[in-house]
Amino acid sequence: MSYFSQKAKVSSKVRHTSQKGTCTRPKRVNQWYFGMKMHIGVDAGSGMVHSLAATSANVHDVDVTSKLIREDDNVVYGDSGYLGLPKRPAIRQDNKKSNIDYRINRRPTQIKTTDNYVGINWEKESEHQKSSVRSKVEHSSLIVKRDFGYKKVAYRGQAKNLNRFSFLFVSANILMYLRGGHKEPIPLMR
C-alpha cells in the first residue's frame, strides 16, 4: 500500500463537497491536499505486481484486500493492519478465500518475552520471515517512486491516477524482470 498526495488548489466552497471517484481532501497544517492509496498485490515468488486497486485515503487497507487476492493464491502475507482479514465477510463467504493461509504479522506489542530470556526468540524470528516476504510490495513501490520519479498524484480523479499507476507498475515489472538478468521474452501480466 502506498499513499500519495498533492497540495490542493480548491476554493473553500469546494472543500466541503465530495464527488464520487475523487481523491479525499485531508487538511494538514491549514493546507488542503488531495490524497489516495494504491493497494498492490504482489507475487511472493517473483516480486511482480499482479493487481492494483485505487481508493481514497480514508479507506482502510483491509477493506480492499479481497479484490487483490487471485484465484491461484494459497498464502497471503500482510502487515499488522490486516489482522482481521480472515474474519471479513467477503473472505468468509468465499469458499476459496476462506481456505487460504493468511500469514499476517502481529503488532510488536503482542510479542511477549521475558527480560531474562537468553535463547533465540522464535516468535520474533517468525515475524521477521513474514516481513521479508511482505517487503516485496515495498520494493515495487520504491521503483515507481525512485526510478520513475512519481511522488504526487497528478490528477484529482482516481480513475486517471489508477490508469497512470497501471502503466507505472507494468513498467516496474519490466524493469525488475530485466534487472533479474532474464534473456527470454517477458511473460504477460494477467
Find the distance separating the first CA and the last CA of the chain, reported in whole Å.
20
- Dig out the grid coordinates for 171 from the structure: 513498467
- Cα dihedral 175, 179, 180, 183 in deg (nearest 10): 90
| Nearest alpha carbon to residue 4 among 105, 107, 148, 177 | 148
What Rg do the C-alpha atoms of the chain give, in angstroms? 19
- Dig out the grid coordinates for 43 from the structure: 507475487
Counting every residue written for the chain, the total comes to: 190
Model pLDDT, residue 13: 41
Spans of the chain, pLDDT less than 70: 1-34, 114-115, 119, 187-190
Per-residue buried b or exposed e for 84-120, using 16+ beta carbons within 10 Å of the residue's own CB: ebeebeebeeeeebeebebbbbeeeeeeeeeeeeeee
Model pLDDT, residue 159: 87
Model pLDDT, residue 169: 92
Which residues, other chains included, contact 96 with Cβ-Cβ below 8 Å and sequence gap of 6+?
A: 71
